[in-house]
Amino acid sequence: MLNGIKQIFGKEMARILKDKKMVFSVFLLPVLIMVVLLTIINNLAGQMQSDIEEHKAIVWMQNEPDSFETFLASAGAEYDIRTIASDSDRGEAEDAILNGDADLLIEFPVDFDAMIAGFQEGDAVPQIKTYYNPSEEYSSQAYQEISVGVLESYRQTLLAGRVGNPDAITVFTVNSDNDDMVIQDDEKASGQALGMMLPYFITILLFAGAMGIGTDMIAGEKERGTMASLLVAPVKRSSIVLGKVFALMVVSGISSLVYVAGMVICTPFMMDSMTGMDEALNLNLGPDQILMLGLLLVAIAFLYSAVVALISVFAKTTKEASSYIMPVYMVVLVVGLLTMFRMGDGGPWDYYIPFYNSAIALQAILSHELTMSQYLITLVETLALGGILTVLIARAFNNEKVMAL
């Protein structure tokens, strides 16, 4: 039986590796596409960030006091200031912000400077109102810069004019001189950013790799008529099944590792150029975690290969097999997406849910949060499901009606 498995495995691997087009499309083309996409995203994001930083905010002012105009001039703030002199101007300003043609509207109370100068205890505190459009990047940036920064500095300036020294009425400050306020596990933090993305990409790439080759290995051979001659060869049908599943597992595993390696290499450079956060994307895995990750990837590749092979058995053509597999692929996509929005440790039963448990286990390995019991549950269940599906494939191969489809 072992010799039969080796023969089928070698035959499938040789067929795949000899086909230059297939090697390029399975191993190289997705990496090239990913690198190109990441480069484009990087350039677009960097250009957008630079554009936002260089943008001169368009700010409408209503009842602007002389003190604020003087403050902006002294601070060297450069904004495109437009004055609201009537109700029609106010409507025009709001429409401009709504349409993205203006960024911020600042409304001061009438006679603001007089209210500040004549303020007495018990008087109503003057309120400055700001209006912006959070769906527009320029508007959000202007709000953060002016409402949170400029107006707070302006408030401090007015306070200094009233009391002389604002520090005299400061009761306390928060983290004004605390460089060590962050307490975290650096190893855990280093894997969290990639832990959000990698499980999703690993799961879908593993399945996509198996799907692309698996349909051709079984349904394709049926379509070409070579499956019939293979079934009458002096090789046990169980050996044929195992040889094809193992070959499919190796191909999907290698292709996914190539994709992930490309993403791990490219993503830190992209994030560094965009945000300077490349340190948050450095993987810091020990030998035991690398071993756990490797074994789990093998188990996932085995399960996905078995799923694809089982579905392909019941199809007459590769096109038909692909149509059968697509709903399962959508489930895998959803499972991968769920890991990106998973908060906390989840429930105790998460690691018993097929497909989902392997995705969250990958995430937990990268963030150094996976316990040995959770890992063993996931690994054993994934391998067991793959084994059960492989048995079902072997039975299907022994069913003449199924193989004659």
| Closest by Cα among 244, 254, 256 to 216 | 244
Q: What is the pLDDT of residue 279?
A: 47
Given a contact cutoff of 8 angstroms between Cβ atoms, the answer to whether 143 and 106 are in contact is no
DSSP string of 336-403, one letter each residue? HHHHHT--TT--TTGGGSTTHHHHHHHHHHHTT---HHHHHHHHHHHHHHHHHHHHHHHHHHT-HHHH
Helix axes 287-313, 237-275, angle to 10 degrees: 130
For the chain of 405 residues, list the mean pLDDT of each consecutive stretch of 10: 83 84 77 74 74 84 92 87 91 93 93 88 88 91 88 86 69 67 61 66 80 84 82 83 87 76 64 49 70 86 89 88 91 84 71 88 83 92 92 85 68
Q: What is the pLDDT of residue 272?
A: 55
Q: What is the pLDDT of residue 104?
A: 94
Q: What is the pLDDT of residue 343?
A: 63
Task: Say which CATH architecture domain 53-169 belongs to.
Answer: 3-Layer(aba) Sandwich (3.40)
What DSSP state is assigned to residue 164?
S
CA–CA dist 212, 204 (Å, integer)? 12
- Give the burial class of 364: count Cβ atoms within 10 A of its Cβ; 0-12 exposed, 13-18 middle, 19 or more buried: buried
Q: What is the pLDDT of residue 326?
A: 92
Block residue for tokens 């908060």: 343
Q: What is the pLDDT of residue 187?
A: 56
Block residue for tokens 């399962």: 328
Parallel, antiparallel or unpaired: strands 129-132 and 104-107: antiparallel
Q: What is the pLDDT of residue 24?
A: 81
Block residue for tokens 């063993």: 376
CA distances from 345 to 27, 40, 67, 196, 342 (A): 35, 35, 53, 14, 8
Given a contact cutoff of 8 angstroms between Cβ atoms, the answer to whether 5 and 239 are in contact is yes
Domain limits, the chain: 9-37+185-403, 53-169
Q: Phi/psi at 59 (nearest 5 deg)?
A: -120, 125
303-324 pLDDT tens trace = 998 899 899 888 888 889 889 9
What DSSP state is assigned to residue 105?
E
CB atoms within 10 A of CB 64: 18
Strand ranges (E), 93-217:
104-107, 129-132
| Closest by Cα among 85, 137, 54, 73 to 93 | 85
CA distances from 25 to 17, 28, 32, 207, 307 (A): 11, 6, 10, 15, 22
Helix axes 287-313, 186-215, angle to 10 degrees: 20
| Closest by Cα among 296, 314, 310 to 256 | 296
CA–CA dist 322, 9 (Å, integer)? 22
| Closest by Cα among 130, 3, 12 to 61 | 130
